[in-house]
Amino acid sequence: MSLVLCIETTSTNCSVALAVENGGFANKYGVLNCLDVLEDNSDAYSHGERLHVYIKDILARNNFSTKDLDAVAVSEGPGSYTGLRIGVASAKGLCYALEIPMIAISTLKSLSKQNTASGITIAMLDARRMEVYGSVFHGDDQVQNVSAILLDGESFSQFRAPEEKGLILDRKVTFIGTGVEKFRALIKEEQHLYITSNPTALTICDLAIEKFKIKDTEDVAYFEPFYLKEFKAG
């Protein structure tokens, strides 16, 4: 049995989960490989204080120790600069100490997995003011790369009305993430599904097991978070 610790710290949600192939519990996202999840969403961004406590607690309550881990998967970004550094540093430390592989998971792809409806999923994380980090998915396929997007009424227009752009896509669109509400205000006359949600380690689990099975891992020494933009204080 392969056991993968999953870490998500890119937003206010400090979240850890244990992934085991086909060993999951029933959950609203249809994730198959999540054995357990422990998380807390606090505006205080107290990841530095909570993350290692959560890792210790989730292992203990499932009768494991760090020595039982076969890999660590971490949400690679984009997202909170400080949160990313805490999550990646913790993953690296465990992987170095235990001599196990590290797996990087796209934050927006993991976020998109919270949408269980068919059609287009537009995942977006708040990036201050009217900007978001966004990406577009059609089922399991990423159809637009992650980018920093300054929102206006035309943002994602080719996916909101794909037939007008000659695209053959399901017309149903779901917007999901922490940047949803400010975009919804711009296109309030349009009828789409809107889900305001933080990333969670729960939806990292299936992606982590998939990568673990094909040995899609990172060079721990050289891996850096996907910040997308340079950090600016203030």
Residue 126 shares a structural domain with residue 145: yes
pLDDT in tens, 206-218: 999 999 999 999 9
Is 14 within a domain? Answer: yes
List Cβ neighbours of 184 (8 Å cut-off, separation of 6 or more): 175, 194
**pLDDT number for residue 171:** 64
- Among 150, 4, 130, residue whose Cα is nearest residue 64: 4
- Helical ranges in 61-203 per DSSP H: 81-98, 107-112, 157-160, 180-184
Structure tokens at 157: 């227009």
Domain harbouring 89, CATH code:
3.30.420.40
Residue 182 shares a structural domain with residue 79: no
Secondary structure letter of residue 29 according to DSSP: T
**pLDDT number for residue 233:** 41
**pLDDT number for residue 46:** 81
Residue 101 shares a structural domain with residue 206: yes
Residues of the chain with pLDDT under 70: 162-171, 230-234
Number of domains in the chain: 2
pLDDT in tens, 122-159: 999 999 889 999 999 998 899 999 999 999 999 998 88
Neighbours of 196 (CB within 10 A): 13
- HSE-CB for 165 with a 13 A CA cutoff: 13
Residue 192 shares a structural domain with residue 203: no
Residue 73 shares a structural domain with residue 178: no
Is 223 within a domain? Answer: no
Is 222 within a domain? Answer: no
Residue-range definition of the domain harbouring residue 146: 116-196
**pLDDT number for residue 180:** 96
**pLDDT number for residue 150:** 96
Is 150 within a domain? Answer: yes
Domain harbouring 129, CATH code:
3.30.420
CB 127 within 8 A of CB 120: no
Q: What's the predicted TM-score (pTM) here?
A: 0.93
**pLDDT number for residue 160:** 84
